[in-house]
Amino acid sequence: MRFSCFLFIVILLFPSCYKSRPTSLTVEVRNSAGQIVTGVLVKVRAEPTANLEGQELLIDYEEATNSNGIAFFNLNEVFKSGQTGVAVVLASVQQNNLYGSEVIEIVEEIDNRLDLVIQ
């Protein structure tokens, strides 16, 4: 009887112990010579696909690269615990007449990384 009570309590508490890790995207921007590019605006937008509920994902972020050529995007608002996959996004950057873009599938609960080269 004691074991049954203990097992019941453990089963009730176990799911509540799970804490999801952050879901993010780090974009590093370099030019064709391999040098970091600072202060450019990186745009991240959802590719035109629908999620399982049939509603468009509202992903539309912009962030300037820092002194290391990196733009960081926190995507925790997009990810829901228990969900498989988060989104497919297009990351793009433009500086003067140079442009770079790439599509990436965001994986939940990790820091997704993308290297963008502008040419």
Within a domain: residue 12? no
Report the chain's C-alpha Rg in angstroms.
Answer: 20
Per-residue pLDDT reduced to its tens digit, 65-80: 999 999 999 988 877 6
Q: Tell me what pLDDT residue 27 has.
A: 98
pLDDT tops 60 at residue 15? no
Read off the pLDDT of each residue in 46-61 and give the average, rounded to a whole number.
68
Number of domains making up the chain: 1
CATH number for the domain that contains residue 31: 2.60.40.1120
Within a domain: residue 66? yes
Within a domain: residue 54? yes
Q: Tell me what pLDDT residue 94 has.
A: 94
Read off the pLDDT of each residue in 2-10 and give the average, rounded to a whole number.
66
pLDDT tops 80 at residue 64? yes
What percent of the chain is modeled with pLDDT above 70?
71
The two three-digit tokens of residue 63, written as one number: 């962030």
Within a domain: residue 30? yes
Within a domain: residue 47? yes
Within a domain: residue 13? no
- Structural domain containing residue 76: 21-118
Within a domain: residue 102? yes
